[in-house]
Chain A
Amino acid sequence: MNYVELEKLKWRSRRSMLELDLYFSRFINDGYFAKLTHEELESYQYLLTLDDGDLLLLFQGKEVLADSKLQKLVDAIIKCKLLEGTAE
């Protein structure tokens, strides 16, 4: 993906709820996002098309995706431990 497409993914990581902003921003700001492969970025792109309520269920571990590659990415975002504060 080119620079613009990556920027678009970052923007679309802004969501309706602070919880989701915190998950995504930590993942992006701590450098995990930058290390994603092309295939993982496509998974990330797909995740962003999901409804915020569904995303929250995934991040809370209440739902699991059938696609193991997607679920692996969800797990990586969950694992990215939240630190104190709300980095923007």
Chain B
Amino acid sequence: MSLPILKFDAVVVGGGGAGLRAALQLSEAGVKTVVLSKVFPTRSHTAAAQGGISASFGNSEEDNWHWHMYDTVKGADWLGDQDAIEFMCKQATDAVAELEHYGMPFDRLENGKIYQRPFGGHMAEFGKKPVRRACAVADRTGHAMLHALYQRNVKAQTHFFVEWMALDIIRNANGDVVGVTALEMETGQVYIIHAKAVLFATGGSGRIYQASTNAFINTGDGVGMALRAGLPVEDIEFWQFHPTGLAGAGVLITEGVRGEGGYLLNANGERFMERYAPTAKDLASRDVVSRAMQVEINEGRGCGTNKDHVLLKLDHLGAEVIDQRLPGIREISIQFLGIDPVKQPIPVVPTCHYMMGGIPTNYKGEVLDGVDEKVVSGFYAAGECACASVHGANRLGTNSLLDLVVFGKSAGNSVIDFVKATPEHKELPENAGAYSLERIAKLESTTGEKVADVRRDMQICMQQHASVFRTQKALDEGVVKMREIYERAKNVVIEDKSKVFNTARVEALEFLNTVEVALATMIAASVRTESRGAHAREDYPDRNDEKWMKHTLYYRDGQRLEYKEVHTKPLTVDYIPPAKRVY
């Protein structure tokens, strides 16, 4: 069956911050670009980012990108690639200034400069004391960024295919990426998007866990597609658990709360972070705070009837500061738990928040395959779906929005160069869309399991076996269970076989991506016998640089793992050697 073919110079898959920044770069350079997005771009999950974007302007106190780089390397627990980290931290001030010029209404100091707040893990003088580095638009930074970038793209005449879902990567016999297949939800028609370059900016996959701060759209589509196309995923065992998810609901309470002076208490009313991180206290890195909270809960010092959460106290800040600097937080807490943080502390638990791993790329956004990092011709990735790797084993708060714009732009520039050097589209392979059609047809089998049932079991399995604290026993059991779930996922079916706007089909296709990410996570986590960043093993409590300072590569074929070296050569500065990560 032949599918309709649409031809573009570049196709950007995903309309969040990274996708929009990349598309803007491309469209402004005259590259014929289309953005595919499952939802209207300004409803992408970037809009949920509350805290801010880091850049070492030093508007309130001395700061510089070297300190930012050090913090990012340390935050990543020395699993980040130092060339990419230098690139990002050095670009940060220009990237934020650019956003300001695009119309982002950053909060201001009285002298007119951008207001900056402290944020977990961001320190001055190479880790000595917290520094004000996060630029914010109240608690709506991501939202403001997305709107500014979208408007700018409209002006640059970027094409948008909204409510389109990319299905599979198309590679030719050489392994070059020459397009994607995509489903137009409105009609149910599958198209081939034939492009010189494909850029993935598909976001995260937090929906693999039962307790997640992620919106429902975060289903790991890009990673699922890359794995099916025979490409690896890097460091997928590293998932950040945000310390302050609203207990019971998952809704995120921004770290900015602690940046403004909020702190955590256990059932004894003790400010326990003073014991775990004497210097940074509640502003220590996210994994450190999450684990400390979990230890308090595990050791019986949790709060509430079930002793299953701790408390985030901010009433001492006063209603004015809370309303002005953290307006959404008060409402979220009242609405979801009936607690007004002006009067009472908020119950919080560590909740899955961010995927540090992803499709391997260099700092130019080029996708890399294998231990020898062979560039995959025509394929680029940026943002949460990519692993550059700047976040390593643990991301610092406010580095994610920075990642989106720095690497979105960088990947965009690489695509521009590639498109200019590629006068003609490479030929599509025969039957380019057949695989996607087969996958869709399989969903319409008469017998099989419901998506919701298998998805629920996957989320429970991931939560029970691969969350904040991990052990060999739990992970090994998790691998067995996830493999069973993975097999069940091959036989999910949809009752509604209609073609037009069939949301059941879309959700099934999303799930088939999510389950790839979940299995990869469990397998990769079960093999890494050390604790590093967000990967915390009770049975291997220490970081083991000799054996494990290396990136994991997981391949779907044979569910196999390979390992490649961490980049230890920054672009211009000296290597930051491993040290104990204390705050």
Residue B536 at the chain A interface, CB threshold 8 Å: no
B46 neighbours in A (Cβ, 8 Å):
16
Partner of B140, one of A3, A14, A53: A53
Min CB–CB distance B389 → chain A (angstroms): 26
A20 neighbours in B (Cβ, 8 Å):
215
A17 neighbours in B (Cβ, 8 Å):
45, 47-48, 215
Beyond A11-B503, A22-B249, A56-B328, list 11 extra A-B contacts (CB 8 Å).
A4-B501, A11-B163, A11-B501, A15-B43, A16-B39, A16-B43, A16-B44, A16-B45, A19-B335, A82-B249, A84-B248
Residues 29-70 of chain A, each 1 if its beta carbon lies under 8 Å from chain B, else 0: 000000000000000000000011100100111100000000
**A7 and B503 in contact, given A18-B213, A25-B216 (Cβ under 8 angstroms):** yes
Partner of B332, one of A3, A19, A51, A52: A19
**A16 and B215 in contact, given A4-B500, A53-B140 (Cβ under 8 angstroms):** yes
Contact B215 A15 (CB under 8 A): yes
Interface residues of B in 22-53 (CB under 8 A from A): 38-40, 42-48
**A88 and B207 in contact, given A16-B42, A17-B48 (Cβ under 8 angstroms):** yes
Q: Residue on A with the closest CB to B211?
A: A86
Q: How far is the CA of A2 from the CA of B78 in the complex (A)?
A: 55
Count class of interface residues, chain B: 35 or more
Residue B331 at the chain A interface, CB threshold 8 Å: yes
Residue B506 at the chain A interface, CB threshold 8 Å: yes
Residues 181-221 of chain B, each 1 if its beta carbon lies under 8 Å from chain A, else 0: 00001000000000000000000000100111111110000
Return 15 A-B CB contacts under 8 Å, by A number. A4-B498, A11-B163, A11-B501, A12-B40, A15-B39, A17-B45, A18-B214, A18-B252, A20-B215, A21-B216, A52-B42, A82-B249, A82-B336, A86-B212, A88-B455
B207 neighbours in A (Cβ, 8 Å):
88
Contact B215 A18 (CB under 8 A): yes
Contact A14 B216 (CB under 8 A): yes
Contact B48 A86 (CB under 8 A): no
Residue B279 at the chain A interface, CB threshold 8 Å: no
Residue B347 at the chain A interface, CB threshold 8 Å: no
B500 neighbours in A (Cβ, 8 Å):
4
Partner of A53, one of B44, B45, B143, B506: B143
Min CB–CB distance A15 → chain B (angstroms): 5
Residue B317 at the chain A interface, CB threshold 8 Å: no
B248 neighbours in A (Cβ, 8 Å):
84
A51 neighbours in B (Cβ, 8 Å):
42
Contact B452 A52 (CB under 8 A): no
Q: Residue on A with the closest CB to B247?
A: A84
Q: A4, A7, A12, A16: which has the most chain B beta carbons within 10 Å?
A: A16
Residue B502 at the chain A interface, CB threshold 8 Å: yes
Residue B250 at the chain A interface, CB threshold 8 Å: yes
**A88 and B452 in contact, given A19-B251, A22-B249, A53-B143 (Cβ under 8 angstroms):** yes
**Interface residues of B, Cβ cutoff 8 Å to A:** 38-40, 42-48, 140, 143, 146, 163, 185, 207, 210-217, 248-252, 328, 331-332, 334-336, 452, 455, 498, 500-503, 506-507
A15 neighbours in B (Cβ, 8 Å):
39, 43, 215
A62 neighbours in B (Cβ, 8 Å):
331
**A52 and B212 in contact, given A7-B501, A11-B163, A11-B506 (Cβ under 8 angstroms):** no
Q: How far is the CA of A22 from the CA of B337 in the complex (A)?
A: 13
A19 neighbours in B (Cβ, 8 Å):
251, 332, 335-336
A22 neighbours in B (Cβ, 8 Å):
249, 251, 336
Min CB–CB distance A54 → chain B (angstroms): 10
Min CB–CB distance B400 → chain A (angstroms): 14
Contact B251 A52 (CB under 8 A): no
Min CB–CB distance A10 → chain B (angstroms): 6
Contact B501 A8 (CB under 8 A): yes
Min CB–CB distance A21 → chain B (angstroms): 5
Q: B40, B211, B212, B498: which has the most chain A beta carbons within 10 Å?
A: B40
Min CB–CB distance B39 → chain A (angstroms): 6
Q: Residue on A with the closest CB to B500?
A: A4
Contact A52 B250 (CB under 8 A): no
Q: How far is the CA of A4 from the CA of B163 in the complex (A)?
A: 14
Contact B250 A60 (CB under 8 A): no
Q: How far is the CA of A3 from the CA of B499 in the complex (A)?
A: 12
**A18 and B212 in contact, given A60-B331, A60-B335 (Cβ under 8 angstroms):** yes
Min CB–CB distance A77 → chain B (angstroms): 11
B163 neighbours in A (Cβ, 8 Å):
11
